[in-house]
Amino acid sequence: MLTEYDPENIHYFLGPDKLMHVNDLIGNDIEFSFLGTINCVNCGKITKKSFGEGFCYKCFITAPQAAECIIRPELCEAHLGKGRDVEWEQKHHNREHYVYLAVSSAVKVGITNHKNIPYRWIDQGASYAIKFAKVPYRQLAGEIEVALKEHFTDRTHWQKMLKNDVLDDEDLEEIKWELEGVLPDDLSQFMDEDDEITYLNYPVLQYPKKVKSINLDKQPHFRKKLVGVKGQYFIFEDETVINIRKYTGYNISIEGK
């Protein structure tokens, strides 16, 4: 899903050129159908199984978008002129990145390239977030993230996030500057002076008390009332949810009723 940040309400879109404004479907029944075909998001070829959020197996083991440094940025070698695709790595990884602190079910540390804020926070369903450090390339962001993992998780507890079980009283600015002392001097020099806290409000009519995930491979067709969108999840009235990003590359029909 594509997103637009609005302080009052996050906006979600599907399809080319933001054809479908998902917010307009909230409160209505929608018919959701998997049409049986999966295309690799990298090469476009039909694949029987999707790997790593939309790749065929060949691209999963060769494409730079699926390299190990996507998950473990401390291993990135773009600044050394290395990688699965050096040109791609130079464009996307040998560039400024942010390390950030975000709050959903807990305080989380993460990284993203400098053009992806606040959209990375939206994708993760964060309720509020702050920039922690700004570095010239991805590998350094990974080093800082590793140092902070001793104090905070780098994972989002997606079920708590969807139930809106959120820590609402964390002072991120205070936490940020307390953490400066845990970094070695060669990394603390990258601390970002911007202490603005960004708050994110999602279009949700009601949050589930229990969460059950829909598996589109086992349930390719359903009709349910959409009551909200948070992170990359559709939330339905019967407390089921579906992770839209998980099915990247799937040919899907969505119709509002």
Q: What is the pLDDT of residues 55-100, one digit of tens each?
A: 999 999 999 999 999 999 999 999 999 999 999 999 999 999 999 9
pLDDT of residue 18: 84
Tens-digit pLDDT profile for residues 178-230? 998 889 889 999 999 999 999 999 999 999 999 999 999 999 999 999 999 99
C-alpha to C-alpha distance for 4 and 13, rounded to whole angstroms: 8
Positive/negative CA dihedral, 199, 200, 205, 210: negative
**Residue carrying the six token digits 């001097």:** 185
List pLDDT tens digits, range 113-136.
988 999 999 999 999 999 999 999
Q: Are the C-beta atoms of 134 and 192 separated by less than 8 Å?
A: yes
What pTM was computed for the model? 0.91
Position 153 confidence tier, pLDDT thresholds 50, 70, 90 = low
pLDDT of residue 95: 96
- The CA-atom distances, in angstroms, between 5 and each of 10, 12, 100, 116, 117 are 5, 9, 17, 11, 10
Spatial contact of 63 and 89, defined as CB atoms under 8 Å apart: no
Q: What is the mean pLDDT of the chain?
A: 93
Residue 158 backbone phi and psi in degrees, to 5: -65, -30
Q: Does the structure show a pLDDT above 80 at 156? A: no
Task: Count how many domains the chain has.
Answer: 1
pLDDT at 154 over 70: no
Q: Is the pLDDT confidence value at 175 over 70?
A: yes
Please compute the mean of the pLDDT values over residues 134-146 and round it to a whole number. Answer: 96
Q: Could you tell me the residue range of the domain that residue 66 belongs to?
A: 2-256
Region 224-251: what's the mean pLDDT? Answer: 96
